Amino acid sequence: MELINVENLVSEAKKHGVNFGKGDPYNRLRYYTKMGWLPHMIRKRGEDNTSVKGHYPKSALNLVLVIEKYKKAGMSNEDITKNIQSTDKMQNVRNLLATPEIKKQLGTIAVVSLLVLIFANELGIITLGKTRSALFAQSAINLPKEILDSGDGTVSPNQKSVFIDSSIVTESSKVYVTFNTDISPAMRFWVANKRPGQGFTLELDAPVYAPTYFSWWISN
């Protein structure tokens, strides 16, 4: 887990327009932690390896920016809490789906489910409305193909697109993306274009506030 010390977190937040007021920014962060909006601070030695400093996960910076956006929109503390909790749940699901074990299990489940449907159709238990040959032809199209390339990427702060290098990309390649951190304030993302033999561009509908990490993979 990547960490950021409190001083850098406050400095970066201010650069992105967060107003901590006249009080001590650390008190504001402690209040956010008390409200359950931020994770608890971790105390560890700084880069100088002498002094012990407070650190947060790097994702806390994005949370601070999101909280600031909610406050400027006039949200109550109760509504902010609900939104933060909802975001955490979605992120947990994204993280779970991004693990290689789950990806493999989902692919296996899809294939097994398809085979069960085919078998049930052959026995006359259900009617899929297709001939046997047509059903297998359609199944061949929909079955998951081999993953040809994969990797991780980052959308930089104040950016809403990034180009990913991949020499195996073709115009017909299927590109899948799952984010490992919250993409707020963006709501949607898509693969904007595919350059055969070069790579593809990932686009979001709004610039992100903080480094936003994602995983990608390509199949034929």
* Rounded distance between C-alpha atoms, residue 220 and residue 211, angstroms: 29
Looking at residue 22, its pLDDT comes to 84
Tell me the β-bridge partners of 191.
202
Looking at residue 139, its pLDDT comes to 45
Burial class (CB in 10 A: 0-12, 13-18, 19+), 67: buried
Peptide bond into 25 cis (omega under 30): no
Q: Across the 220 residues of the chain, what is the mean pLDDT of every consecutive 10-residue run?
A: 86 90 89 90 73 85 89 89 75 58 68 69 59 46 64 89 92 88 86 92 89 86
Of 107, 67, 71, nearest in space to 85 by CA = 67
